[in-house]
Copies of this chain bind each other. A is one copy, B any other.
Amino acid sequence: MRTIKVRSRQREELVEFTEQVQQQLAVSGQQSGVVVLFVQHTTAGLTVNENADPDVPRDMLHLLRTLIPQHGMGFRHGEENSDAHIKATLAGSSVTIPFKDGKLLLGRWQGIFLCEFDGGRERQVIMTILT
């Protein structure tokens, strides 16, 4: 079990950290199984999506902000980040990714992202390898 730290700079940002996961996997020496990543926060999530065109994460944050704006929705939670809690649940708190021959079995366009919805902050992701 390992902790990966991921730093966000903006309130809403998709921060890719595929390389950190692949590196930790290499260090483990494990060849085949699944990697489970779990984010220990309630206003950030994890997802696997396209890492080639930065407009994909941009469009995703734009759409989510349109559907779930920070203000004006009748939210009662006093910290003014209910939008971030909701988006975190929609993204999900974990991703599970298979690996073989020590390599993550990601598709050609897939990267692993921290979905920051209430940053910028340093976030903690727990990485577990199951074989």
Contact = CB atoms under 8 A, between A and B. Distances in A.
Interface of A: 1, 32-34, 36, 38-42, 47-50, 53, 55-56, 58-60, 62-64, 66-68, 73-79, 82-83, 85-86, 88-98, 100, 105-110, 115, 124, 126, 128, 130
Q: Is the interface of A mostly helix, strand, loop or mixed?
A: mixed
A39 B91 CA distance: 16
Contact of A76 (B48, B59, B67, B90): B59
A59 B33 contact: no
Contacts of A108: 40
Given A1-B32, A82-B60, A55 B77 contact: yes
A60 B89 CA distance: 9
Given A38-B105, A49-B89, A63-B73, 11 more contacts: A1-B32, A34-B36, A40-B108, A42-B48, A56-B77, A59-B85, A63-B75, A89-B91, A90-B90, A93-B95, A93-B97
